[in-house]
Structure 1
Amino acid sequence: MVEANNTTVTLQVHRFTPRPERAERARGGSPFAKKSSPFGGGSDSAARRRPRGKQWVQEYTIPARPSDTVLDCLLTIKRTIDPTLAFRYSCGHGMCGSDAAAINGTPTLLCTATVRDWAKQPSTAPEVDDEGFRRTGDETANEPDVPAENNITEGSLGVIELASLPGFPPQRDLIADIDPMLNQIRKLTPYLQADGVLATTAEGKVDVFEYLQNPEQLAKYETLSNCIACGVCEGACPVYAGGDAFVGPAALIWASRFINDSRDTKAMDRMDAIDAADGVAGCQSVRACSRHCPRGIDVGEEMWQIVAKVRER
Structure 2
Amino acid sequence: MTNTTVTLRVNRFAPRPERNRDRGGSPFARKSSPFGSSAEAPARRRPRGKQWTQDYVIEARPEDTVLDCLLTIKRTVDPTLAFRYSCGHGMCGSDAVAINGTPTLLCTATLKDWVKPEHTVVQTDDEGFRRTDDVNDADDAAGADTANDGSLGVIELAALPGFPVQRDLIADIDPMLDQLKKLKPALEADGVLATTKDGKVDVFEYLQNPEQLARYERLTNCIACGVCEGSCPVFAGGDAFIGPAALIWSSRFINDSRDVKAAERMDTIDTADGVAACQSVRACSRQCPRGIDVGEEMWQIVAKVRER
Superposed pair shares fold, TM > 0.5: yes
1:85 to 78, 81, 86: 81
* Secondary structure of residue in 1 paired with 2:253: helix
The aligned runs of 1:275-290 (5 Å cut-off) are 275-290=270-285
Letter in 2 for 1:107: P
> Is the contact made by 2:2 and 2:150 (CA closer than 8 Å) also made in structure 1?
no
CA distance in 1: counterparts of 2:243 and 2:86, whole angstroms? 24
> Is the contact made by 1:122 and 1:159 (CA closer than 8 Å) also made in structure 2?
yes
The aligned runs of 1:9-24 (5 Å cut-off) are 9-23=6-20
Which residue of 2 is the match for residue 104 of structure 1? Answer: 100
| CA deviation vs aligned residue, 1:239-259 (integer Å, no higher than 9, x gap) | 000011000000000000000
* Secondary structure of residue in 1 paired with 2:56: strand
Percentage of matched positions with identical amino acids: 73
1:252 to 247, 252, 262: 247
Shift of 1:30: 6.3
Which residue of 1 is the match for residue 232 of structure 2? Answer: 237
Shift of 1:86: 0.3
1:299 counterpart = 2:285: no
1:189 counterpart = 2:184: yes
CA distance in 1: counterparts of 2:38 and 2:186, whole angstroms? 24
1:150 counterpart = 2:150: no
Which residue of 2 is the match for residue 118 of structure 1? Answer: 114
* Secondary structure of residue in 2 paired with 1:111: helix
Point out 4+ residue stretches in structure 1 off by more than 4 angstroms.
Answer: 41-45, 132-135, 143-149
Which residue of 2 is the match for residue 169 of structure 1? Answer: 164
CA distance in 2: counterparts of 1:148 and 1:65, whole angstroms? 25
Which residue of 1 is the match for residue 127 of structure 2? Answer: none
TM-score of the two chains, using structure 2 as the length reference: 0.89
TM-score of the two chains, using structure 1 as the length reference: 0.87
> Is the contact made by 1:48 and 1:180 (CA closer than 8 Å) also made in structure 2?
no
CA distance in 2: counterparts of 1:75 and 1:54, whole angstroms? 23
* Secondary structure of residue in 1 paired with 2:107: coil
Q: State how many pairs are aligned.
A: 296
Letter in 2 for 1:101: V
Letter in 2 for 1:195: D
CA distance in 2: counterparts of 1:170 and 1:110, whole angstroms? 17
Structure 1: 5+ residue runs without aligned partners? 127-131
Structure 2: 5+ residue runs without aligned partners? 123-129
Which residue of 1 is the match for residue 198 of structure 2? Answer: 203
> Is the contact made by 1:19 and 1:54 (CA closer than 8 Å) also made in structure 2?
yes
1:7 counterpart = 2:4: yes
CA RMSD of aligned residues (A): 2.7
Shift of 1:22: 2.0
Which residue of 1 is the match for residue 32 of structure 2? Answer: 32
CA distance in 1: counterparts of 2:259 and 2:39, whole angstroms? 31
Shift of 1:157: 0.2
> Is the contact made by 1:124 and 1:145 (CA closer than 8 Å) also made in structure 2?
no
